[in-house]
Structures are given as C-alpha cells and as structure tokens.
Structure 1
Amino acid sequence: MTKQDIINHVSQEASLSRAKAEEAVETVIKLIKESLGQGEPVILRRFGTFQVKSKTKRMGRNPKTGEEAEISARKVVRFKSGKHFKQAVNSQEN
C-alpha cells in the first residue's frame, strides 16, 4: 500500500474530498516527523509506538571486500507494534 492508496481510503471512509484527505494524511505524517525529530515517542494506541534510538559509532565490515569500515553514530526510528496490531496482522488469511 502506498501513501496515495491511504489517501484514497481516507477520502472514501471519511467522506472527504481527495484534497482534504491528502491534507489530513500529510498533516499526520508531518506531526509524527516533528515529534520524532524532537526525540519524543509517538504512541498510537492499538497500533504501536515509534521511538528514536541512538546508535553509537562502531566498526563494521564490507561484506564484499572484508575491509573494516567505521560506521558513524546515528539516530534510527524504531517501531514496536501494539498487541491489537499484532493480532490483526496474525488473524489475516494469506
């Protein structure tokens, strides 16, 4: 599913124009980015939690050449799914 698919579903489900649905989706994404950028977790009950975690610099290895290379310190976003989200995914027929 793409962002455009989400916008189309929001438009249909909420009886909004496509432009208003796109604005709503973009606003939610913007808020999530801003909160994570400030180091705040984003908790969506019954869905999951987005958190920013810091990774320290470390030595890695190039898998092709075997040469060691330093991997710089960075921040990564971690998503931990909620109980209801897991149940919904696991109950889907494949």
Structure 2
Amino acid sequence: MNKAELIEAMASESGLSKADSKKALDAFINTTTDALKKGDRLSLIGFGSFSISERAARTGRNPQTGKEIQIAAKKVVKFKAGSELATTVN
C-alpha cells in the first residue's frame, strides 16, 4: 500500500474526504518526525511505539573490493509493534 492508497483507505474508513484524510496523515507524519527529532518517544497503545536509537561508528567492508571502510555513527528510527498489532498480524 502506498501513500495514495492509504489516504483512500483512511477516507473510506473514517468518512472524511480524501483531502481531510491527506491533511490528517501529513499532520501525523510531521508531528511524529518533529517528536523523534527532539529525541522523544511516540507510543500508540496497542499499535506500537517509535523511538530513536544510536548506532555506533564501525568498520565495514566494501563488498565489491573487499576494502575496509569506516561507517559513521548515526541515529536510526526504531518501531516496536504493540501487542494488539502483533496479535492481529499473527
């Protein structure tokens, strides 16, 4: 499912127009992004939680040449599914 299909599904499920559903989805994405940028954790009970994790710098290997390369430290977004979502999917 892509973003347009998600917006259409949200509109049909909620009874909102597609334009309102797009605004709601964009607001959710922007708010989530801003919270994660600040280092906050976002928890949606039953669905899951988004958080930031630090990945340490490490030495990797270029698969084409075999030469060692340095991979810089970075922050990554983690998602942990909630119990209701995990149960529904399984």
Confirm whether residue 25 of structure 1 aligns to residue 25 of structure 2. Answer: yes
SS at match of 1:87: helix
Q: Pairwise mapping of residues 29-40 of structure 1 onto structure 2 (< 5 A)?
A: 29-40=29-40
Which residue does the alignment assign to 1:45? 45
Provide the TM-score with structure 2 as the length reference: 0.94
Confirm whether residue 68 of structure 1 aligns to residue 68 of structure 2. Answer: yes
Provide the TM-score with structure 1 as the length reference: 0.91
Q: Distance in 1 between matches of 2:45 and 2:13?
A: 20
Indicate the percent of aligned positions where both proteins have the same amino acid.
Answer: 37
Confirm whether residue 85 of structure 1 aligns to residue 85 of structure 2. Answer: yes
Q: Distance in 1 between matches of 2:20 and 2:58?
A: 45
Pairwise CA distance, 1:82? 1.1
Pairwise CA distance, 1:47? 0.8
Pairwise CA distance, 1:43? 0.5
Q: Distance in 1 between matches of 2:35 and 2:83?
A: 23
Q: Provide the alpha-carbon RMSD of the alignment.
A: 0.9
Q: Distance in 1 between matches of 2:14 and 2:82?
A: 24
Q: Distance in 1 between matches of 2:77 and 2:35?
A: 12
**Corresponding residue pairs, total:** 90
Q: Which runs of no fewer than 5 residues in structure 2 stay unpaired? A: none
Q: Distance in 1 between matches of 2:21 and 2:72?
A: 39
Q: Which runs of 4+ in 1 moved over 4 A?
A: none
Q: Distance in 1 between matches of 2:15 and 2:86?
A: 28
